[in-house]
Amino acid sequence: MASPIERVLRKDRLVLSMLLAMVTALAWAAMARMAEQGAGGSERLMPCCATFGLIFWMWVVMMAGMMIPSVTPMVLTYAAVMRRRLNLGAPYVSSGLFLLGYLGAWSGFSLIAAFAQWALHRSSLLNPESLRVHPLAGSAVLLCAGAFQLSDAKLACLSQCRAPLGYFITEWREGRVGAFIMGLRHGWSCIGCCWLLMAILFAAGVMSLWWGAAITAFVIAEKLLPWRRLVIWAGSISCFVGAAALIARTAM
């Protein structure tokens, strides 16, 4: 029979999972709308006319939609530890701050990605229709991503991302500021893990929902499935196959 604290922890988990799923759904809905507007030629979102701010915002929304699903276990663990520390007080505000810190880190990444997109467009290196770089440049990105998958740096960052309770046991910081900073720092190791996977979007099409969904699914698999090395290798091989396909297509 579950004790009161176990029931409370279970309820927190349910409530927070639902909230996170809602935020994710909103982010994807916003992404779908932006992609549609882009494709529909409303031109508001086409790089030719989009302001830097708008491109940045698109990346922020996209990173939130793609990363919240796989950071969910971390937020749930944080909330459970916080619930215990607050002696049954509600952990929602500080859990929100943890998530905000995490998304803050990814917004930093988004700033760089948006600048890259803007710069590529200005130098006419980004196809204005598909938002892709030249296939050869795309294959170079994929080759880098595939190689990085197998690096020690990737493995080190990933093991940070994969140990929710361990992270809080060793990295705990007090208070609401602490929640934000822990989120920020965790986001930083996630970026170390995933930045090249996100760069693949420049090869696949920045606003491509399907590729976005595929990368999201892969990140979830990498962080949550038990067969860590198998998933890492599968990712690497997929990148190399993709690179070969792009090169073959250019050659034809």
Partner 1 sequence: MDPTPWKVSGSYYEVCNCEAICPCRRKGDRKGGKASYETCDFALSWLVEDGRAGALDLAGMKVVMAGTFSRDNPDLWTVTLYVDDEATPDQKAALTDLFLGRAGGTPASGFGSWIGEVRAVRSARIELDHTPDAQRIDVPPYLTVKTRERVPHDAQVTCGIPGHQFPGQEIRAEVVRYQDGGFDWEFRGKCGFASRFTYSSS
Q: Which residues bind partner 1 (CB under 8 A)?
A: 3, 6, 9, 13, 73-74, 76-77, 80-82, 84-85, 87, 159-160, 162-171, 224, 226
Vertex 218 angle, CA 214 and 219, to 5°: 120
Calpha distance 164→41 (Å, rounded): 43
Select 104 or 178, whichever has its Cβ closest to partner 1: 178
Shortest distance in whole angstroms from residue 24 CB to partner 1: 17
Give the shortest CB-61-to-partner 1 separation in angstroms.
Answer: 25
Yes or no: say if 144 and 196 are a contact pair by the CB < 8 Å rule.
Answer: yes
Q: How far apart are CA 94 and CA 100, in angstroms?
A: 9
Nearer to partner 1, 132 or 223 (CB): 223
Nearer to partner 1, 78 or 106 (CB): 78
Task: Please state the length of the chain.
Answer: 252
- Report in angstroms how near the CB of residue 196 gets to partner 1 at its nearest: 23
Q: Rounded to whole angstroms, how far apart are CA atoms 21 and 102?
A: 16
Instruction: Give the burial string for 49-72 (b: 16+ CB within 10 Å, else e).
Output: ebeeeebbbbbbbbbbbbbbbbbb
Nearer to partner 1, 128 or 175 (CB): 175
Shortest distance (Å) from residue 13 CB to partner 1? 8
